[in-house]
Chains A and B, each alone.
Chain A
Amino acid sequence: MPLSGKQFTDLIPQLQSICGKTNVIYHADELRVYECDAYTLEKMPPDAVVLPGNTSEVEAVIKLCRDRNLAIIPRGSGTSLSGGVLAVDGGVVIGLSRMNRILDVDFRNRRALVEAGCINVHVTQAVQSEGYLYAPDPSSQFACTIGGNVATNSGGPHTLKYGVTTNHVLGMEMVLPDGETVWLGTQPGGPEDIDGCDLRGAAIGSEGMFGIVTRVLLRLIKAPQSCKTMLGIFESVDDAASAVSDIIAAGIIPAALEMMDQLIIQAVEEAYKFGFPLDAGAVLIIELDGQTTGLSSLTDQIQDICRNKQAREVRIAASKEERALIWKCRKRAFGAIGRLSPNYLTQDGVVPRSRIPEMMKFIKQTAEKYQLRIPNVFHAGDGNIHPLILFDEKDKDQVKRAIQAGHDILGKCIDFGGSISGEHGIGVEKVDFMSRQFSPEDLEAMMKLRKTFDPDMRCNPDKCFPSASRCIDFTLKKQISA
């Protein structure tokens, strides 16, 4: 509910007295950049953005908003691809960007305590000299925050072997929507196993609807002794996809198994000049890690599998630098799309691995049907597809076609027995699909859990749940006006 003039004028000084004058953003020009995240199809600026510096400031801001019945929206770095931080109906964005410190590293117990606004890659950078790392590595890791990762249960290319965020978060501090601060899960310095039900687990992936995460206790892992990064170059997506199935069927669990199709290869090649063959149908990035001794026989095995599937070539990264460049190409592939098109819409559906070839065929048909280009780059190992639907927001008809193409693809994921989001979250983007994927009973159960944390539904409202009718209206309104 956008604020009236009077409400607004006395809210701002109060927020300023909590967080300091420069840490409250309320001028219309300055709110513009906060009108969306990396999902740009829907836009709405919040009424104000506050940047608290510590947990007690977060608490005070939340209490003020509670007393005034204002929506609160947690925001990390705004790299969400599903409109997770959109202020659908106004409200106060609580940005964690100033709470970005690493508070403590405990190598003996392999833990790090960080503030929620800490940038993901900064954790690994701070511990790598001692031979450790923080495993979840979303492609956005150079910018996204640990708080955002917790809220979306982020994964990354290395999820296949190491698991997602929830497998690496021991506990966290959260300020509930009524202003009370709680610690969920393992306490810093406390034992790993805790009694009672796993509220930590429930809150991870709750897309900012349960409260504001302020501190997180992370698990660190020992960096693998060595690793081998291979590039399999295939004539077609079908061949690459069946190689993926064969690798898994052979009982090998690579650290990462990623696929890029021809359009993406071209964009990435233009950006980073790696030397990918522009005429290849698909490229697989296959990474093995672990003890040096076991790696070479596995490498041979994988090379054989790829060749059996008509791989044109299997290259092995010869140096650390070459490996880094391969990952740079993969991790920055989404962004490199800017070289192909002014806007893109990413889908994040999951299909059983065995259906990848069919899914890719469907995406191709969809692209033809709507006369759009849809490159693909994705986590092939776990069937998490990322078709990137290219469009130009200035062309209204194209926007509509892009949205429709996205809907068709997600619908197909459900038909194939998969799901609509692997890691980017539901946000505002996929609300309409929740009732297709879940039964009314399932949704009601989820809603009950949510209301336990946030009875007034003021914390990141209008996300995730289709019953939030305002949200659907909003989506429709936006789509029609677009």
Chain B
Amino acid sequence: MSDRVEIDPFLDANQLTACVHCGLCLGACPTYLETGNENDSPRGRLYLMKGFLEQTIALTAKSVSHMDCCLGCRACETACPSGVKYGALLEDTRDHIEAHYKRSWFQWFLRRIVIEKFFPIPTRMKWLLAPAFLIRALKLEGCLPTYFRNALSLIPKKLESAPPLAEITGAVGEAKGKVGFIDGCVMNVMFQKTNYSTVQLLRHMEYDVVTPSSQGCCGALFSHGGNLKQARDSARRNIAAFEKLDLDTIIINAAGCGSTLKEYGHLLSLDPDWQKRAEAFSAKIKDLSEFLMEDDHFEKLKRLQKNEKTSGLDLAGNVTYHDACHLAHPQSITQQPRELIRNFCGDRFVELPESEICCGSAGSYNLTEPEMAGKLQTRKTRNILSTGAKTVITTNPGCLLQIRAGLNQSGNAPLRVGHLADWLWEQIDPTN
């Protein structure tokens, strides 16, 4: 493929030797917990990578299948005491696989066209959704093969729309500063309302919010799928879009994008013109929940809290929280969202068993590996139902779609699945 620039060797062998083969990561790996096959565990995959690098293991349907089955959830990084940078090794290996391994036409179409050419671009994503809604309206789901029926189940019944975001949204009251906002590609189409809530929260923290229209997809869909060249191009575009704005902080509300944005420094580490700029950009990125727990923001939020008695909020049900992998593992953010939720619902917060185990969404994984995605979706649904909670909160669009679809399929549609930003915004009375 001509648009690839492969780095030779494709992996940093020193990073591989950091693995001491202790096996402590096995219990954290969702795919290993499901299949029990060590080739589907981090330790096994690192072995395969080593084999690919040393050319003692060929890229065959078998060996590649274990790499494809990896969620990229990076739970293994949290578990690994030796500091193995699994995520980076995986991205480099995937880039190598896509350059040298021939996919079936279906997988090729899915990966190269649907995921890489449609998802990252909001207008195209909308085209893709149109036939889906049409099929639904005509009640033709039953005529579709299982794969497409399952894919369709991920698309929400109705897209909640919200007013488009202006380039600059003014703070409420006197602005004490300016923050950037990344509106995302999938978020921008499927979760406009969540973006709206996020910006409202930031305004009420007294910031002007800048959402430059020249930004684009963060590149996660490319880097996870084995197209580092395109991921790097996306990174350069975003860095350029924000650089001139002279901001200290740039907010993101999607966990998956957040972890990619925070790692631009690594993504462009071999590009002397961009490496420093990338690091500077990454240092400014903050997840919404992280930001809301800093400075006096939390105090401000509390002050804005709705009066419980007069608000009409549904205070009956318990609330639980699912850790989006890319927030919990690469970004190590687990406490902040919990503290935010607890503040508003106190004892009604219940922990979700296996909260840190992936729901199977994993970016576009539920499309490329539907079988494992389905197993993990069922596991997540079972755990959610065991809590008796009425509301599930998380911080990533993929998880929201996957969990909602899982609950719908299990006949538990009334459970509410929402993004932290939306839930928080609901708890707030702007007139306070």
What residues make up the interface of A, taking CB atoms closer than 8 Å to B? 22-23, 25, 27, 29-30, 32-34, 36-38, 40, 51, 77-79, 95, 97-98, 100, 117, 119, 121-122, 125, 140, 142-144, 271, 332-339, 342-344
Q: Are A339 and B35 in contact (CB under 8 A)?
A: no
Q: Are A336 and B82 in contact (CB under 8 A)?
A: yes
B86 shortest CB reach to chain A, Å? 12
Report the bound CA distance from A333 to B83 in whole Å: 12
Report the bound CA distance from A98 to B34 in whole Å: 8
Q: Are A117 and B22 in contact (CB under 8 A)?
A: no
Pairs A–B under 8 Å by Cβ, sample size 28: A23-B37, A25-B37, A29-B63, A30-B39, A30-B62, A30-B66, A32-B51, A33-B48, A36-B21, A37-B23, A40-B20, A51-B35, A51-B36, A77-B26, A79-B23, A79-B24, A97-B38, A100-B33, A140-B22, A140-B23, A142-B28, A142-B79, A143-B23, A143-B79, A334-B22, A335-B24, A336-B83, A337-B82
Further pairs besides A33-B44, A33-B48, A342-B17: 5, Cβ < 8 Å: A32-B47, A34-B38, A77-B27, A336-B83, A338-B18
Report the bound CA distance from A78 to B27 in whole Å: 12
Contacts known (A29-B57, A342-B17, A344-B20); A143 close to B47, Cβ less than 8 A: no
Within 8 A of A (CB), among B24-67: 24-28, 32-33, 35-39, 41, 43-44, 47-48, 51, 57-58, 60, 62-63, 66
**Count of B interface residues, CB-CB < 8 Å:** 38
Report the bound CA distance from A37 to B20 in whole Å: 10
The 5 A-B residue pairs whose C-beta atoms are closest, nearest first, are A338-B82, A335-B81, A97-B36, A332-B81, A98-B36
Report the bound CA distance from A145 to B22 in whole Å: 14
Complex interface: chain A residues within 8 A of B79 (CB):
142-143
Report the bound CA distance from A388 to B79 in whole Å: 20
Report the bound CA distance from A143 to B36 in whole Å: 12
Asked whether any CB of chain A lies closer than 8 Å to the CB of B90, the reply is: no
Report the bound CA distance from A40 to B51 in whole Å: 16
Asked whether any CB of chain A lies closer than 8 Å to the CB of B19, the reply is: yes
Q: Are B51 and A143 in contact (CB under 8 A)?
A: no
1/0 per residue, CB under 8 A from A, across B193-224: the answer is 00000000000000000000000000000000
Instruction: Please indicate which of the listed interface residues B20, B25, B28, B44 has the most CB atoms of chain A within 10 Å of its own CB.
Output: B20
Q: Are A142 and B27 in contact (CB under 8 A)?
A: yes
Contacts known (A78-B38, A95-B36, A121-B27); A335 close to B17, Cβ less than 8 A: no
Q: Are B25 and A143 in contact (CB under 8 A)?
A: yes
Within 8 A of A (CB), among B98-157: none
Instruction: Please indicate which of the listed interface residues B26, B57, B63 has the most CB atoms of chain A within 10 Å of its own CB.
Output: B26
Asked whether any CB of chain A lies closer than 8 Å to the CB of B292, the reply is: no
Report the bound CA distance from A93 to B28 in whole Å: 23
Asked whether any CB of chain A lies closer than 8 Å to the CB of B250, the reply is: no
A419 shortest CB reach to chain B, Å? 24
Complex interface: chain A residues within 8 A of B35 (CB):
22, 51, 98
Contacts known (A79-B22, A339-B83); A25 close to B27, Cβ less than 8 A: no
Complex interface: chain A residues within 8 A of B60 (CB):
29
B387 shortest CB reach to chain A, Å? 11
Asked whether any CB of chain A lies closer than 8 Å to the CB of B327, the reply is: no
Secondary structure of the A side of the interface?
A: mixed
Nearest to A328 among chain B residues (CB) is: B81
Instruction: Please indicate which of the listed interface residues B37, B80, B81, B353 has the most CB atoms of chain A within 10 Å of its own CB.
Output: B81
Complex interface: chain A residues within 8 A of B51 (CB):
29, 32
| Contacting residue for A77 out of B23, B37, B57, CB 8 A | B23
B254 shortest CB reach to chain A, Å? 28
Complex interface: chain A residues within 8 A of B83 (CB):
271, 336, 338-339
Report the bound CA distance from A47 to B222 in whole Å: 38
| Contacting residue for A40 out of B18, B21, B80, CB 8 A | B21
B42 shortest CB reach to chain A, Å? 10
A148 shortest CB reach to chain B, Å? 10
Report the bound CA distance from A22 to B353 in whole Å: 28
Asked whether any CB of chain A lies closer than 8 Å to the CB of B84, the reply is: yes
Q: Are B24 and A140 in contact (CB under 8 A)?
A: yes
Report the bound CA distance from A117 to B20 in whole Å: 23
A54 shortest CB reach to chain B, Å? 13
Q: Are A143 and B27 in contact (CB under 8 A)?
A: yes
Contacts known (A51-B37, A336-B81); A29 close to B48, Cβ less than 8 A: yes
Complex interface: chain A residues within 8 A of B39 (CB):
25, 30, 33
Report the bound CA distance from A334 to B79 in whole Å: 13
| Contacting residue for B81 out of A34, A38, A122, A338, CB 8 A | A338
Nearest to A344 among chain B residues (CB) is: B20
Report the bound CA distance from A431 to B278 in whole Å: 54
Q: Are A29 and B62 in contact (CB under 8 A)?
A: yes
A208 shortest CB reach to chain B, Å? 16
B24 shortest CB reach to chain A, Å? 5
Nearest to A142 among chain B residues (CB) is: B27
Complex interface: chain A residues within 8 A of B27 (CB):
77, 119, 121-122, 142-143
Q: Are B81 and A333 in contact (CB under 8 A)?
A: yes
Nearest to A36 among chain B residues (CB) is: B21
Complex interface: chain A residues within 8 A of B47 (CB):
32-33
Q: Are A78 and B81 in contact (CB under 8 A)?
A: no
Q: Are B20 and A142 in contact (CB under 8 A)?
A: no
Q: Are B22 and A335 in contact (CB under 8 A)?
A: yes
B95 shortest CB reach to chain A, Å? 20
Instruction: Please indicate which of the listed interface residues B26, B36, B79 has the most CB atoms of chain A within 10 Å of its own CB.
Output: B36
